Structure 1
């Protein structure tokens, strides 16, 4: 018999974890949903961001949240460079499907090897005091190591949504996703807009990596755990819908936590794909797709 306190804590923990998942999936929602670029290496960039925050913390004593402010511009520039290579090698030649996917797979594994060579396979973690602190509200505990990534992810999604919906470049990016030819006829460069959008997706991955370091210790291969979740959330949310990404991620986090309680932790990873398949069978466009 599961007690009410245990169930309440599981739901709250699932909401906090799902919110973090949304922050991880935000960049993938842009690249996969808006740009039609299946960046399977997206979780690897999240791990790079975590290690970047770790290095800044070790050398300069920066909190991961402060380190994120330095990680984001570096990852934005890296995103510009990656898209430049991807566009020249695949998009420009009209060969941006399977070979492009292989490119990102290779990028992911090369990056993992580089991290192993630089840092080894030991887990790295933040020494921030709040990582082991909790706030109690009645029977419910709110661990700051989960609450802070949840709030940080909320900021990431809100900033990305405001940029896309309220700025000229953001609306132009949405226009490219709908009709690149029309954007070109209006005098804008679709390739440049896609490059900016892809760079933003990588910058968001770097910021999410700093939040990951707060949530749990990291090692080079930890990004593999997020591949299924990230793309399941992007599809479930409606392929390009950031609000949909948030809701889908929170739903997934709660379902995973409840699955861990009632069926065991070993079943939780399968929920991402099971929930995805069920939703696509009923609503192929995702929960919030048009």
Structure 2
């Protein structure tokens, strides 16, 4: 039996595009969990919230969902600042951030989900844009724009964040805050303020990820649960706090899932993907680019 080369290449391309989307979904967790050691289990709920905001603006005003996400970035940043301040004053300040902090984010996850159900119901919602139904064809390659544009936006966002973290004082302070808060204080930087900025940035990325999610597929309030295990797996696989590692891990997971779904069926994709994760961590416990 001849190997289906064309089918394999299309599955590979689809996996790369899917991996780009996984990267933008995970980047907020890479900052909050990988750098700040805050287990924000509610992050996928903020992503779904971003999807619904893009949906409302698109349906009522006809604004492109990706443009909407850029417009509401400051709102999500402010929301992240408030959430971190509540978390700090309630748990971190008293050294109770481990179990009780996790409970706080679980509660936030379910409260956000219930509010979305009360407002929108459980029906799937989708947005309208010309490019969503457009497919670019190059020979036997099929590239749907609803996947290509999220991939491009995701890579641009991750490049921008990497430059910010590596080239600016605030960015370097964010990278340092998890390592030595006392040394950071001696450099005239308030560790709590730096952590608040970092957490706010992680929530702001959810606005972009949410808009890209609803471009790729219709959403409903509980959809975020499907991504909880995946985003933490990518974060760990890439190396805690490493944005380049996040990109590589997301691409690998996307490719594995796409090829598995194409040749063996979608039901096998999660099992094979997480099996790949476990095998990789067995040989590289710190992750692909972890220290």
Alignment-derived partner of residue 97 in structure 1: 98
Aligned with 1:141: secondary structure? strand
1:153 aligns with 2:150: no
Choose 205-214 or 12-21, whichever is displaced more.
Answer: 205-214
**1:136 and 1:6 mapped to 2: Cα distance?**
14
Pairing 1:69-148 to 2, within 5 Å after superposition: 69-148=70-149
Residues 203-261 of structure 1, C-alpha deviations (whole Å, 9 max, x = no match): 00111111111111111011111111100111111100101100110000000011112
Aligned with 2:146: secondary structure? helix
Pairing 1:183-262 to 2, within 5 Å after superposition: 183-262=184-263
Alignment-derived partner of residue 279 in structure 2: 278
* 1:280 CA displacement: 2.0
**2:136 and 2:168 mapped to 1: Cα distance?**
37
Does the aligned pair in 1 maintain the 2:133–2:145 contact within 8 Å? yes
**2:76 and 2:103 mapped to 1: Cα distance?**
21
**1:141 and 1:284 mapped to 2: Cα distance?**
37
Alignment-derived partner of residue 52 in structure 2: 51
Choose 11-20 or 182-191, whichever is displaced more.
Answer: 182-191
Pairing 1:24-43 to 2, within 5 Å after superposition: 24-43=25-44
- TM-score where L is the length of structure 1: 0.97
Runs of 4+ in 1 over 3 A off after TM superposition: none
**1:272 and 1:83 mapped to 2: Cα distance?**
32
Would you say how many aligned residue pairs link Structure 1 and Structure 2? 290
Which runs of 5 or more residues in structure 2 are unaligned? none
**1:137 and 1:165 mapped to 2: Cα distance?**
38
- TM-score where L is the length of structure 2: 0.97
